[in-house]
Structures are given as C-alpha cells and as structure tokens.
C-alpha cells in the first residue's frame, strides 16, 4: 500500500514542455491546473497523503515528477534525466525526498548514466527498467547496482517505439498488467495476466494503481471496462492537457 505521494504544480511554462505530438496543440494552462487539482483529489481519495510542491517556471516539464526519482520501500534513487532541458529537475527534489528517507537510503544516478523514472516499473521487489531514448545502458547499470544494494532485483527491457517503459506497460498489482503495442508479446511479461490495450486507446495504458483503486484517464472506455471487469475500484480523471506533452497519470506523481 502507498502512504505518500509527491506532486509538483505545473508552471505557466508548461506550454513549452517537450512533446512528440505538436499536432495536439499547446496545453491550456488553466485547464491543466484544474486537471491537476482533480488528480490530487483522486489520489487523496485513495488514502494517501499528498505533498504538493511549488511550480518551477525554469523547468517546463517539472510537473512530471515521476521522472526525477524512484522511491521504493527500502531506498530512493535520484535520477539523471536524459532530456537536457530536464537534467536539473532531480536535484531540486532531494530536499523533499530527505523528509522521507535517510541519507543511507538515498542513491544517485550520475553522468554519463541517464535515467528517468518513467522508465521504471515496480512489481513487488522486482523492478523493470526500460532502455530508452532517455535512459541509457550506463543508467540501467547504475540503477540495478543501487537497487541490489538495498535488496531489490532488476531487469532491463529494451524499448523500440515508446518514450518511456510506462508509456506502454503498467502493473496494477494482483499479477495484472496493462499492456499495449510492443509490450503485448514481450517475453519479459509472459507470466502476467494481461489486460490488452487496443492501439486506438494506447495512451490509456498509463493507469496507476493506488491502494486497490486504479486511476484511469478519461476517454479510454475499453481500458476502463477491462479494469472494472478485473474487479478494481476505478476513478476516471481527465489528463488531456498533459497528453499534449506525452505525459500521463503516472508521470504526474511519485507514489511510495
């Protein structure tokens, strides 16, 4: 179960965030703020305490806090983002993370290693890390070493198409995994019970499990139905403005 969540308010500079889908248009900042409010309410209704950090105008993508660290029951691993414009975000999370972890529990990914938390999926004590455009081989090596030091295990999953591992695959506990596109047939995930996400709803693969509730983005009815049929409580919340920046539900928080 998760007790804590960290989020960061989006700044007005959000509209300059990195995107692979400029055809979706720029985010509407006021609507993004409202969606962020709703996201926090959804999390709180799952019984977690939400720490809300101030916006950072100098970092347009800094509301996507998931990329700055990986927080486990035993340790915190501070990332080193692969995107140049995001590199400084991780250091700005450390003071907050120190409120929850001792210095001995905190590890750091260092250059030339790069790693973003969106590439990391936790399944109990085991962690999958995507080798991606943002997380390089040295980042994977350092991450595995840090996890093993604290008694976790790790395996590397090379990505072919998507930005981050959790863009396309998300574990929702009870051996259930939402899988889309390149992950549907991946050998690494063959032992899980798969909820297949159709290509037309690929963005909907990025759902988050929070204490037996699954938060699902608005507008993905096939995904929502399959999660309900698997027996979960579901909260639907709109992330349309974050989608314009390749951001999803998981990207917007650190859950631990």
Inter-residue contact 115 to 80 (CB < 8 Å): yes
Which position among 9, 13, 16, 18 is part of the footprint of ligand GLY (CB under 6 A)? 18
Binding of residue 17 to ligand GLY (CB under 6 A): yes
Shortest Å, Cβ 85 to ligand GLY:
9
Shortest Å, Cβ 167 to ligand GLY:
10
Residue 46 a catalytic site member: no
Residues 140, 152, 164, 207: which is the catalytic one?
Answer: 164
* Residue of this chain nearest to ligand GLY (CB atom): 18
Instruction: Scan residues 212-251 and list those touching ligand GLY (CB under 6 A).
Output: 245-247
Smaller CB separation from ligand GLY, 17 or 224: 17
Smaller CB separation from ligand GLY, 64 or 128: 64
Residue 251 a catalytic site member: yes
Shortest Å, Cβ 240 to ligand GLY:
14
H helix or E strand, kind and range, residue 224: helix 221-229
* Distance from the Cα of residue 152 to its chain's centroid: 19
What is the SS3 string spanning 2-55?
CCEEEEECCCHHHHHCCCCCHHHCCCCHHHHHHHHHHHHHHHHCCCCEEEEECC
Instruction: Scan residues 60-119 and list those touching ligand GLY (CB under 6 A).
Output: 61, 64, 83, 86
Smaller CB separation from ligand GLY, 20 or 174: 20
Shortest Å, Cβ 232 to ligand GLY:
27
Label residue 211 exposed, middle or buried (CB < 10 Å: 0-12, 13-18, 19+).
middle
* Distance from the Cα of residue 10 to its chain's centroid: 16
Smaller CB separation from ligand GLY, 129 or 245: 245
Task: Report long-range pairs for 221-229 (Cβ below 8 Å, ≥24 apart).
Answer: 222/197, 222/198, 223/178, 223/195, 223/197, 226/195, 226/196, 227/172, 227/178, 227/195
Which residues lie closer than 8 Å to 3 by C-beta, 6 or more apart? Answer: 48, 49, 256
Smaller CB separation from ligand GLY, 48 or 130: 130
Active-site annotation, residues = 164, 251
In the complex, which residues of this chain contact ligand GLY (CB under 6 A)?
A: 17-18, 61, 64, 83, 86, 245-247
């Amino acid at each position: 179960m998760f007790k804590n969540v960290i989020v960061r308010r989006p700044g007005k500079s959000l509209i300059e965030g990195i995107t692979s889908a400029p055809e979706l248009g720029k985010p509407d900042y006021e609507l993004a703020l409202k969606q962020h409010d709703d996201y926090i309410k959804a999390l709180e209704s799952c019984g977690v305490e939400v720490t809300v950090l101030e916006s950072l105008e100098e970092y347009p993508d800094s509301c996507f806090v998931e990329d700055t660290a990986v927080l486990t029951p035993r340790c915190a691993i501070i990332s080193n983002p692969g995107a140049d414009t995001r590199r400084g975000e991780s250091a700005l999370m450390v003071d907050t993370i120190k409120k929850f972890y001792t210095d001995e529990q905190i590890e750091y990914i260092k250059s030339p290693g790069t790693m973003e938390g969106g590439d990391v999926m936790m399944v109990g004590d085991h962690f999958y890390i995507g080798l991606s455009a943002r997380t390089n081989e040295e980042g994977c090596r350092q991450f595995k070493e840090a996890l093993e030091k604290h008694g976790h295990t790790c395996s590397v999953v090379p990505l072919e198409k998507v930005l981050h591992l959790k863009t396309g695959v998300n574990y929702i506990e009870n051996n259930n995994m939402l899988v889309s596109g390149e992950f549907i047939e991946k050998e690494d995930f063959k032992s899980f019970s798969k909820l297949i996400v159709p290509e037309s709803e690929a963005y909907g693969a990025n759902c988050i499990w929070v204490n037996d509730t699954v938060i699902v983005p608005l507008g993905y009815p096939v995904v929502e139905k399959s999660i309900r049929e698997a027996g979960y409580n579901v909260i639907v919340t709109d992330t349309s403005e974050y989608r314009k920046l390749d951001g999803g539900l998981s990207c917007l928080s650190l859950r631990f």
